């Protein structure tokens, strides 16, 4: 895991601007604490940072290729891991390429030399990188198929700025942290738009996309997307195929030259990853979990959380014989303003579910004390159909993004927003428009019946929208602690296969994720295998809601707090004084958390320009 930031200019001599490099070097220090490099020419400047994971002595960046006369021809700023780099290196050697080290970075460099932009299609892994072709004076930006690694860009008056995070682009001095109405909609709607960034003039490279920039301007093209196909395997063959794919994926992803670990929640997904990893490593596996301290004695089942994680984590850790560490997080740690501000800084925006984000940030810090790389079960629920909205007919029929369902009327994040501003930005209209756009993209064979078509739509919406939120969270909060997160369920070969499996096979035993459960049934204890899906926990401690209310009260009392100009005074009053904490006025806890995050965001120098 690394971070990159760079500039291209066709009028300014960037080689004569050393102050730019000095500013850019500090932007992504946590993404790359082990090394920082720099390369510049009149037309381009690259500043990559490195978190060393594979080939600790090699893999230096930026990676530079030269011709027979020693002239520089290609410059690469690379972030990520390519898990088929060994096979690619052997193929490139047969094609005449020589290698100086054993890193995947150099494999990507040589792959570009051999296949140009077509190299992206040959990479299996998680990555985002920038290539400067010196001879063509052209920049190429590439992002992996699911957006596991972030990559942003923005056109400047005379070129292009790019980087792993928005904050990196700001260090160039050419991009300002300004959020307009469209950005505010994107930040507070929970309807992710592929390619959209919350800051004015900035975009994200869409997963599976190439972006070229040269003297002829900017051009975008897809190199990958889901392809619909008729599934011809029977159920037993499908189960065996999923198991074989998972074994191959995890075998590849445990490779590292630094300590590796795995997250363990006691659910099917993370437990399966841990069990498969344990088979590969041979010895004890490091595992980590998080539990809210209040839940140890006071957990109550609710609509989506049928059971607490801790008992299942303990059972699975004992089954694995893992070196397990459980992090307990209490209310005071969740409402610590410094931790909240760090989360907002890491995300470069407010997020849905502040308790989740702060606890994951603290868990990442704990992991970093013992490990540099961790595996997670992210992506399984989206691919195999684990969430409640895949199974409850109300959510399935809802004409909106399924994760919003009935709750969208409660305005997850925008409940405290000024009502005139809410109406002017037209949040409901924005949601409807994004939903229609997403449905229009869904790849179909044309042979699906109505029920199968709907389940294909829900899978696509989850894999291209909801998963973006999950992966952004995993990446940003891990990198805030210099931890690389790997996601075996987001391997594109697995996703391509499972995407085309009929829904009836995915729920063959009448339960969520039947196909995955059958594929790993021999690896897990019965209690874990049969556990009902329980999402990441939401803290139930009443003191947390009280503490949030007091934070909101303090923000309201700050006369100069910029966020107060965006908030509705009546709704804030309801959240502070109403016995239901504002629920009767349509204000959810997430709305209060969002207001607190907006306060941290605007206090950090972000400006809202409507």
What is the tally of structural domains in the chain?
3
**217 inside domain:** yes
Domain ends where: 222, 254, 288? 222
Nearest to 346 by CA among 532, 480, 184, 541: 480
Closest CA to 348 of 464, 234, 479: 479
Report strand pairing: 373-375 vs 484-486: parallel
Strands (E), 16-113: 35-36, 39-40, 44-50, 63-66, 72-82
Q: Label residues 585-601 b or e (16+ Cβ within 10 Å = b).
A: bebbbbbbbbbbbbbbb
**Is position 144 within any domain?**
yes
C-alpha angle 197-198-201 in degrees, rounded to nearest 5: 70
pLDDT number for residue 360:
98
Q: Is 579 exposed, middle or buried (0-12, 13-18, 19+ CB in 10 A)?
A: exposed
Query: Taking residues 334-344, what's their average pLDDT?
Result: 98
- pLDDT (0 to 100) of residue 43: 97
- One domain, residues 161 and 94: yes
322/456 same-domain check: yes
Q: What is the pLDDT of residue 410?
A: 54
Burial class of 98 by CB neighbour count within 10 A (0 to 12, 13 to 18, 19+): exposed
Do 510 and 554 share a structural domain?
Answer: no
Shared-domain flag, residues 14 and 62: yes
Neighbours of 102 (CB within 10 A): 16
- Of 475, 499, 529, the domain-final residue: 529
Q: What is the mean pLDDT of the chain?
A: 95
Q: Which CATH number is 457's domain given?
A: 3.40.50.620
Distance CA 351, CA 98 (A): 46
Cβ–Cβ < 8 Å for 482, 143: no
Q: What does the alpha-carbon distance between residue 242 and residue 489 come to, in Å, rounded to a whole number?
A: 11
Among residues 2, 119, 274, 490, which one is catalytic?
2
167 is a domain residue: yes
pLDDT digits (tens, 9 = 90+) for 274-302: 999 999 998 899 999 999 999 999 999 98
Are residue 71 and residue 214 in the same domain, yes or no? yes
Output the pLDDT for position 606: 98
Residue 456 and residue 574 share a domain: no
377-396 tens-digit pLDDT: 999 999 999 999 999 999 99
In degrees, rounded to 5, the angle at the alpha carbon of residue 458 between the alpha carbons of residues 454 and 460 is: 115
Contact predicate 502/229, CB 8 Å:
no
384 with 448, same domain: the answer is yes
Query: What is the β-pairing status of strands 260-263 and 217-222?
Result: unpaired
Q: Tell me which of 47-56, 92-101, 290-299, 501-510 is least confident.
A: 47-56
Average the pLDDT over 499-503 and give the result. Answer: 98
Predicted confidence band of residue 21 (pLDDT cuts 50, 70, 90): confident
Q: What pLDDT shows up at residue 408?
A: 46
Residues for the chain: how many in total? 610
Contact in structure between 143 and 154 (CB atoms under 8 Å): no
Worst-scoring range by mean pLDDT, 14-28, 102-116, 146-160, 161-175? 14-28
pLDDT tens-digit map of 391-422 = 999 999 999 999 987 554 557 789 999 999 99
In the prediction, which pLDDT does 115 show? 98
Q: Stretch 491-513: mean pLDDT, rounded?
A: 97
pLDDT tens per residue, range 135-179: 999 999 999 999 999 999 999 999 999 999 999 999 999 999 999
Residues 136, 187: one domain?
yes
In a domain, 594, yes or no: yes
User: Looking at residue 14, which CATH number applies to its domain?
Assistant: 3.60.20.10
Residue 31 lies in a domain: yes
Q: Name the more confident of 580 and 481.
A: 481
Q: 26-49 in b/e burial notation, b at 16+ Cβ within 10 A?
A: ebbebbbbeebbbbbbebbbbbbb
The percent of residues above 70 in pLDDT, for the chain, comes to 99
Do 348 and 496 sit in the same domain of this protein? yes
* CA–CA gap between residue 281 and residue 520 (Å, rounded): 18
**Residue 569 within a domain:** yes
Assigned domain for 482 exists: yes
Q: What is the domain range of residue 464?
A: 235-410+427-529
275 plus 192 within the same structural domain:
no
Give residue-wise pLDDT tens across range 234-255. Answer: 999 999 999 999 999 999 999 9
Q: Identify the band that residue 185 occupies on the pLDDT scale cut at 50, 70 and 90.
A: very high
Rounded to whole angstroms, how far apart are CA atoms 50 and 4?
A: 9
CA dihedral for 22, 27, 33, 35, sign (positive or negative) = negative
| Strand, coil or helix: 221 | strand
Same domain, 20 and 80: yes
Instruction: Determine whether 119 is an active site residue.
Output: no
Q: Is 18 exposed, middle or buried (0-12, 13-18, 19+ CB in 10 A)?
A: exposed
385 neighbors 562 (Cβ within 8 angstroms): no
Among residues 529, 563, 598, the one where a domain terminates is: 529
> Is pLDDT above 70 for 533?
yes
Q: Cβ neighbours of residue 340 under 8 Å, at least 6 residues apart?
A: 354, 358, 596, 597, 600
Q: Buried (b) or exposed (e) across 127-163, using 16+ Cβ within 10 A?
A: bbbbbbbbeebbbbbbbbbbbbbbbbbbbbeebbbbb
Asked if the structure places residue 421 within a domain, the reply is no
CB 462, CB 382: distance < 8 Å? yes
Assess whether 517 and 546 both reside in one domain.
Answer: no
End-to-end CA distance of the chain: 36
The span from the CA of 262 to the CA of 274, in Å, is 6
Let me know: does 161 contact 175? Beta carbons within 8 Å: yes
Query: Do 512 and 385 touch, CB atoms closer than 8 A?
Result: yes
Give pLDDT tens digits for 453-465. 999 999 999 999 9
């Amino acid at each position: 895991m690394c971070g990159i930031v760079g500039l291209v200019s066709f009028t300014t001599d960037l080689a004569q601007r050393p102050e730019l490099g000095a500013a850019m070097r500090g932007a992504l220090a946590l993404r790359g604490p082990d090394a920082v490099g720099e390369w510049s020419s009149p037309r381009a400047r690259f500043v990559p940072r490195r978190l060393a994971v594979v080939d600790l002595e090699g893999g230096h960046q930026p990676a530079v290729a030269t011709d027979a006369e020693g002239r520089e021809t290609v410059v690469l700023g690379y972030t990520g891991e390519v898990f088929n780099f060994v096979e690619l290196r052997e193929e490139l050697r047969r094609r005449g390429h020589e290698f100086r080290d054993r890193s995947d970075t150099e494999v990507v460099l040589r792959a570009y030399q051999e296949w140009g932009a077509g190299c992206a299609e040959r990479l299996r892994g998680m990555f985002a990188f920038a290539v400067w072709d010196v001879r063509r004076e052209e920049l190429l930006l590439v992002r992996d198929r699911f957006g596991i690694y972030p990559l942003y860009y923005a056109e400047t008056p005379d070129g292009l700025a790019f980087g792993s995070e928005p904050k990196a682009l700001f260090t160039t001095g050419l991009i300002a942290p300004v959020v307009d109405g469209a950005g505010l909609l994107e930040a507070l709607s929970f309807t992710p738009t592929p390619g959209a960034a919350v800051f004015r003039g900035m975009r994200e490279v869409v997963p599976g996309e190439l972006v070229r920039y040269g003297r002829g301007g900017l051009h975008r093209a897809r190199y990958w997307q889901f392809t619909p196909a008729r599934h011809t395997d029977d159920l037993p063959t499908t189960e065996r195929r999923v198991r074989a794919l998972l074994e191959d994926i995890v075998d590849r992803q445990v490779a590292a030259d630094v300590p590796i670990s795995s997250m363990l929640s006691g659910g099917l997904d993370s437990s399966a990853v841990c069990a498969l990893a344990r088979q590969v490593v041979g010895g004890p596996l490091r595992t980590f979990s998080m539990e809210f301290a209040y839940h140890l004695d006071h957990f109550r089942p609710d609509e989506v959380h049928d059971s607490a994680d801790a008992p299942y984590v303990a059972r699975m850790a004992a089954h694995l014989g893992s070196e397990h560490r459980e992090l307990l997080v209490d209310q005071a740690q969740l409402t610590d303003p410094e931790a909240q501000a760090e989360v907002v800084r890491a995300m470069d925006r407010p997020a849905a579910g502040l308790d989740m984000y702060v606890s994951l940030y603290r868990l990442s810090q704990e992991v970093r004390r013992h490990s540099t790389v961790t595996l997670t079960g992210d992506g399984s629920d989206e691919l195999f159909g684990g969430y409640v909205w895949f199974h409850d007919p109300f959510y399935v029929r809802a004409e909106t993004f399924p994760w919003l369902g009935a709750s969208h009327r409660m305005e997850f994040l925008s409940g405290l927003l000024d009502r005139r501003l809410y109406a002017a930005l037209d949040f409901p209209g924005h949601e409807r428009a994004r939903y229609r756009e997403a449905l229009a993209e869904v790849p179909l064979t044309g042979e699906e019946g109505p029920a199968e078509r709907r389940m294909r739509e829900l899978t696509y919406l989850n894999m291209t929208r909801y998963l973006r939120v999950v992966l952004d969270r995993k990446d940003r909060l891990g990198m805030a602690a210099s931890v690389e997160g790997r996601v075996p369920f987001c391997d594109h070969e697995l996703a391509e296969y499972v995407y085309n499996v009929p829904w009836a096979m995915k729920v063959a035993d009448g339960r969520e994720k039947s196909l995955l459960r059958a594929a790993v049934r021999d690896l897990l204890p019965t209690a874990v295998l049969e556990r009902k899906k329980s999402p990441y926990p939401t803290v139930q401690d009443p003191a947390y809601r009280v503490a949030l209310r007091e934070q909101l009260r303090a923000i309201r009392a700050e006369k100069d707090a910029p966020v107060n100009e965006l908030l509705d005074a009546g709704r804030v009053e309801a959240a502070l004084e109403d016995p239901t904490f504002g629920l009767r006025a349509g204000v959810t806890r997430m709305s209060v958390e969002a207001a607190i995050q907006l306060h941290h965001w605007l206090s950090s120098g972000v400006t809202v320009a409507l």
